[in-house]
Amino acid sequence: MPLIAGWWRQAAPQLDVPREPFTQHAAEPDGWITTFESFANLLTDWGEAVTEAERRGWGIVGLRC
């Protein structure tokens, strides 16, 4: 977790940088993430989970349904 949490600490201050590329290339009106704000919120929530897991000495498991 320290490595992933470190990546988040580096990326978080620059979260607004990919706004224009997201709007140009990734925004899908019919997708589950339709706006940059939704994308940024997802990343921020993930960053908070990673940071808390690191603080507690836990790991993270990703599941795909």
**How far is it, in rounded angstroms, from Cα 42 to Cα 12?**
12
Task: Render pLDDT for 13-61 as a digit per residue (tens, 0 to 9).
Answer: 999 999 999 888 887 778 788 889 999 999 999 999 999 999 999 999 8
Give me the pLDDT at residue 16, please.
93
Give me the pLDDT at residue 15, please.
93
Between 2-11 and 36-56, two packed helices, what is the crossing angle to 10 degrees? Answer: 140
**How far is it, in rounded angstroms, from Cα 33 to Cα 7?**
22
The pTM assigned to this predicted structure is: 0.79
Domain boundaries, the chain: 2-56
Give me the pLDDT at residue 43, please.
94
For residue 65, pLDDT beyond 90:
no
**How far is it, in rounded angstroms, from Cα 21 to Cα 14?**
14
In total, the chain counts a number of residues equal to 65
